Structure 1
Amino acid sequence: MFPLLLNYRRIAATVGRSFSNQVIKIDQHHVRERQVKVCRRFGKNSRLLRPWFLRYIPQDGYPISVRYVDTSPDDDSRPVILLLHGTPGSFYDYFRFIADFGHQYRCIAPNFPDFTHTIRTGGCFWHSAEEKSEFIADLLADLNIKTVHCLVAHSLSAYTASYLWIYANQRPYFDLNSICLISPAGRFKYRWRHRVRMRLLTQLCRMLSLQKMMMPTEWLQSRPMANMPLSNMLARKDLAMWKMLTENLSNYDSYHLRLRVLAGNLKLPTLFIFSSNDKLYPADLYYEQLYELQVEGNEFDKYEHYENRLVQVAAGDRSDSWIRVVDFSGGGHYLHNTHSHLIHSYIDELLVHANIAH
């Protein structure tokens, strides 16, 4: 699948793309808003078959106002790239990506509903991975998009992406040609005390009393919220609850099984990008995902910590492999913004191959 990548300049010259060095803001003409009824598939099921956070969903779904970027709303001929941001985050996380790829591809980057939507609607939308995957599927169906050329997911949106690749190529879901995972969150291993705290906070959130209470400081200092500044957490409890709900209701305990399906049955063309020096998540979290994807330590490209020089090239013949893995050891969690030139070259190669394969 992936020819040997010696450096990003060679790839850029091969495909004839010139990546931008400038920071270009998202064109406001591309920012749109529409109301979509989401999770309709769950609404049609019996209440007894739904998890608690979907128990009282209306039969015709949640009505949610969605803000999203669509670079080519009137051109159905362009291949579609779907961009999923992490939590917290927004489509602005992909401003460099949209600047480089928006002229050739139809880039669609929706904003996931935040926690204020949950409070305002009296408990509608709990930010679970299942809800988010249905949210994406219903939005694309409303836009009449039946094929996604590439699904790009960053950080916690990997959980949502995992449900999308499980259900992709089945009706009423869309067809999916390739996947790009950037710093994907893996299978967390919380201590039992942290699990109890997360579940208790989830129940308090369910009662919609969080905005009236003070969360204990020691709770905020434990995972999954330890890496966010405490001052911001106390000032913006909605961000704390948004992140906590996303992780707690992500079914992270079974995430490795969805990775096995991708590696064993689907084998969609995949690009896995991470940093072994990520300050937010430990490197073991990424290595465990690579183990489930059946990737050995010498089977990925690795860049030097300081000068971003390629110091390790994937061993063996990777031309027929379905997955390519890149480690930017000197990068952080937002690699698609700090190492955009290199990463966009790898993504461009993935897009070219996915177009040939389909």
Structure 2
Amino acid sequence: LCFNWPNFTFSSQTGYWWHSSDEKTNLMVDFLKQLGIKKVDMLVAHSTASPPAVQLAAQRPDIEVKSLALFMPITSRVFKGGKNPLLFNPILGWVLKARGGEAFAKYFMQSVMALSRHPTRGRAYDVFFAYLSAIGYEQAEIDQHLATLRQRALPTLIMVSNNDRLLSVEDNHRLMRKMGCDPRNAWLYDEQGQLVKKGNEGVVKVIELEKGSHYGFNRFPDIANDALMELLNSVAR
């Protein structure tokens, strides 16, 4: 399963803004229960969708998650792409939600992101809103969830990219260490998608792309799909 979350347009129309990690996790649980699903072989998440996926796998015993796949995961309130003070500040967040401020905020964000060549696809304000959603949790809480997954030895796939303009190499390495994985043990692929160095086949498998960007699964779908099928087959036996 890979969940898709409300974008800025939905929030603007309904007036519901924050969509915190807790809210998203509860929504996932309610949705799965309505379908009569109590077990998920694999939960897949990308970027800022990672915190609720991690929370569901670690915290909710009513839904059993057998494996987790995180692509370019943002699981920290402090990361490389969130350091642009023109975009990521409380004032612009307030303007975005104020009556009459939406049009200005959307134009401002689009302009800044275009001029700074920010690595976004589609509507820039959706990316900004995803960031606001991602910080709707306490760092200590998500760190505890990661520690829980590590202690449970939950089979996990992590894909990162060294040229990700939202996440630095240190951001990625920090997450690996929190999951009990030595960054030196990652499976390394070059800019052509060729395997350069084999890594460990442990409970947590890390795929490191030299040039995958923030959307490495699109740039190298064969690598991503093979890794997903390998993980799925290992838990679905």
TM-score normalised to structure 2 length: 0.82
- Alignment gaps of 5+ in structure 1: 1-81, 85-110
The gaps in structure 2 that reach 5 residues or longer are: none
Q: Which residue of 1 aligns with 2:89?
A: 198
- The aligned residue for residue 148 of structure 1 is 40
* Match in the other structure for 1:93: none
Q: Distance in 1 between matches of 2:67 and 2:59?
A: 14
Larger radius of gyration: 1
Which structure shows the bigger proportion of residues in helix conformation? 2
Whole-Å Cα distance in 1 between the matches of residues 83 and 183 of structure 2?
A: 31
The equivalent of 1:161 in structure 2 is 53
> Would the alpha carbon gap of residues 167 and 255 (structure 1) be closer, same or farther in structure 2, given more than 3 Å must change?
closer
- Correspondence list, 1:93-242, <5 A: 111-121=4-14, 123-168=15-60, 170-171=61-62, 174-189=63-78, 194=85, 198-211=89-102, 213-214=104-105, 217=108, 221=112, 227=118, 233=124, 237=125, 239=126, 241-242=128-129
Structure 2 counterpart of 1:124, one-letter code: Y
Q: Which amino acid aligns with 2:215?
A: Y
Q: Is 1:312 aligned to 2:231, yes or no? A: no
What is the TM-score when the length of structure 1 is the normalising length?
0.56
Task: Tell me the secondary structure at the aligned position of residue 185 of structure 1.
Answer: coil
Give 1:250 shift. 4.3
Give the deviation of 1:176 after TM superposition. 0.8
CA distance in 2, matches of 1:148, 1:281: 28
Secondary structure of residue in 1 paired with 2:154: coil
* 1:195–1:311 distance in 2 versus 1, CA, 3 Å: same
| Cα pair distance change 1:325/1:192, threshold 3 Å | closer
Deviation for aligned residue 1:212: 5.5
Identical pairs, percent: 22
Aligned pairs for 1:6-85 within 5 A: 82-84=1-3
Quick one: distance in 2 between partners of 1:113 and 1:218? Answer: 19
- Secondary structure at the aligned position of 1:117 is classed as helix
- Aligned-partner Cα distance in 1 for 2:55–2:154: 14
Q: CA deviation at 1:152?
A: 0.5
Q: Counterpart of 1:341?
A: 222
- Map of 2:156 onto structure 1: 270
Deviation at 1:330, TM superposition (A): 2.5
Partner of residue 207 from structure 2, selected from 310, 326, 331: 326
